[in-house]
Amino acid sequence: MTTALPMLVLLLCLVSGVPIAVSLAGCGMFGIWLITGDLAKVINIVGLVPFSSVADYQLTTIPMFILMAYFSASSGLARDLYNAAAAWLSHIRGGLAIATVFACGIFGAMSGASTAAASVMSRIAMPEMRRHGYSEELGAGAIGVGATLDILIPPSIAMVIYGIATQTSIGKLLIAGVIPGIIAGVLLAVLIYTWVRISPHHAPQAFRTPRDERVASLVRVWPSLLLIALVLLMLYTGVATPTEIGAVGAALAAIIGAVFGRLTFAEGIDALKQTLRTSAMIFLILIGATIFGYYMTLSRIPQEVVTLVGAMDLNRWVVIIGIVVSYFIISMFMDEIPLLLLTLQLTFPLITSLGFDPIWFGVLSMMMVAMGLVFPPVGLIAFVVSATAGVDLMKVYKGTSILTLALVATTILLMIFPQIALWLPATMR
């Protein structure tokens, strides 16, 4: 009971609104002291962890991908993608909502941050859908669930965190999310089309954008598509490390914005400041999680969980379903990065002991996190869409709850056919 006390205190801290990094570090220190009774050992660990936990070359991938996201957002690339998709899909009923999903997915290939995509697309897509008579439920649902594709499609910051925390190949993890992300996007489009056919009042009659406008829209998106293709090609071929790819992507996003005259010097500086803030927040959480990890190691809780599950002789699929449901529930209340850093210390040893592939489990984890981020009673992305787009939260939940069925279907396919996630990584060099 004594060894589990810090976990109960951690839960109380998180519920009380204590910053996640402080909660993890404080409860980890408390746990180490309870187990060892040696205050000097606690002080020694706290003195070493801040440097040792973040002085890892792989971690430089995170600020590079974040910088790429902010440069892409400041350069107006998301607006170009949405306008092009809307122009080519406007003749389909619900076409603007489908365009939003595709724009979110493609923007995700330049950002890797779901909350950033939700915020940007709420400002761009929601006014257009309102102007054309779309319901707020459909518009907000398409933005919210579409933004979750960024967790799957590379470069995904959550995937990078998973790879670092579990010592799994980051390159293979990022590539593993491509096909599940595409499947989820296609199923979302089909679900939106079905929704507006069943309930036509959610979307107006379709309209056809003039041909010259459609062609003109492609002129502004080809640099973005070229950037995405280059990033995916470098990841797949392994010609550069993920950090180098992030640096190249950030530089190209800045160049594209500058050439088109939409990324000013002031906006560039602001993107750098935002990158520093976001990276510092992630690194502080990582430091706190590392200190908490020392407590977990000393308490032997992960090993005891593995032993207990083994003694129960459960079917391994029963265990994985239990883990999946737990991830889904926790992700309703917590952002993806702290969730992964907190839970992987328990779940990863368990799934590897049961013989599950760590890359497959990484993609499956992202699916659960994606659903939790838009599902009631909390759903952090739902809050972002509600606040940014000015849509009542209940309407956001209605839209995301319906469209989450596409993510559920993708998850079921992923569990039945693991090769959906494993085929592309297996073909890499």
The pLDDT, as a whole number, for residue 161 is 86
Asked if 128 and 358 touch (Cβ cutoff 8 Å), the reply is no
Asked if 15 and 32 touch (Cβ cutoff 8 Å), the reply is no
If one compares 318 and 413, the residue with the highest pLDDT of the two is 413
The pLDDT, as a whole number, for residue 212 is 80
Determine, yes or no, domain membership for 324.
Answer: yes
Determine, yes or no, domain membership for 321.
Answer: yes
Q: Name the pLDDT band for 364 (thresholds 50, 70, 90).
A: very high
What percentage of the chain carries pLDDT values higher than 90?
Answer: 13
The pLDDT, as a whole number, for residue 180 is 93
Determine, yes or no, domain membership for 242.
Answer: yes
Determine, yes or no, domain membership for 314.
Answer: yes
Work out how many domains the chain is built from and give that number: 1
Domain range spanning residue 174? 58-281+304-426
Q: Name the pLDDT band for 363 (thresholds 50, 70, 90).
A: very high
Q: Name the pLDDT band for 1 (thresholds 50, 70, 90).
A: low
**Please, how many CA atoms are within 13 Å of residue 7, restricted to the half-sphere of its CB?**
15
Mean pLDDT of 260-284: 83
Determine, yes or no, domain membership for 356.
Answer: yes
Q: Name the pLDDT band for 183 (thresholds 50, 70, 90).
A: very high
Q: Rounded to the nearest 5°, which phi and psi values hold at 31?
A: -65, -45
The pLDDT, as a whole number, for residue 240 is 81
The residue count of the chain comes to 429
Determine, yes or no, domain membership for 245.
Answer: yes
Asked if 341 and 330 touch (Cβ cutoff 8 Å), the reply is no
If one compares 247 and 308, the residue with the highest pLDDT of the two is 247
The pLDDT, as a whole number, for residue 423 is 93
Determine, yes or no, domain membership for 159.
Answer: yes
Residue 222 has pLDDT above 60, yes or no: yes
Q: Among 27-31, 141-145, 223-227, 314-318, where is mean pLDDT lowest? A: 223-227
Asked if 235 and 242 touch (Cβ cutoff 8 Å), the reply is yes
Mean pLDDT of 334-341: 77
| Maximum average pLDDT range among 124-133, 355-364, 366-375 | 355-364
Q: Among 8-17, 354-363, 385-394, where is mean pLDDT lowest? A: 8-17
Residue 429 has pLDDT above 70, yes or no: no
What are 296's two structure tokens? 């977990």
| Maximum average pLDDT range among 127-141, 365-379, 398-412 | 398-412
Q: What's the pLDDT tens digit per position in 76-119?
A: 777 777 788 878 887 888 888 888 888 887 776 666 667 777 87
| Maximum average pLDDT range among 214-218, 254-258, 286-290, 411-415 | 411-415
Start-end of H helices in 132-210: 136-147, 157-166, 170-176, 178-198
What integer best gives the mean pLDDT of the chain?
Answer: 83
Residue 148 has pLDDT above 80, yes or no: yes
**Please, how many CA atoms are within 13 Å of residue 167, restricted to the half-sphere of its CB?**
3
Determine, yes or no, domain membership for 165.
Answer: yes
The pLDDT, as a whole number, for residue 306 is 67
Mean pLDDT of 385-407: 89
If one compares 63 and 4, the residue with the highest pLDDT of the two is 63
393-416 and 178-198 helices cross at what angle (nearest 10)?
Answer: 130
Q: What's the pLDDT tens digit per position in 383-392?
A: 888 888 888 8
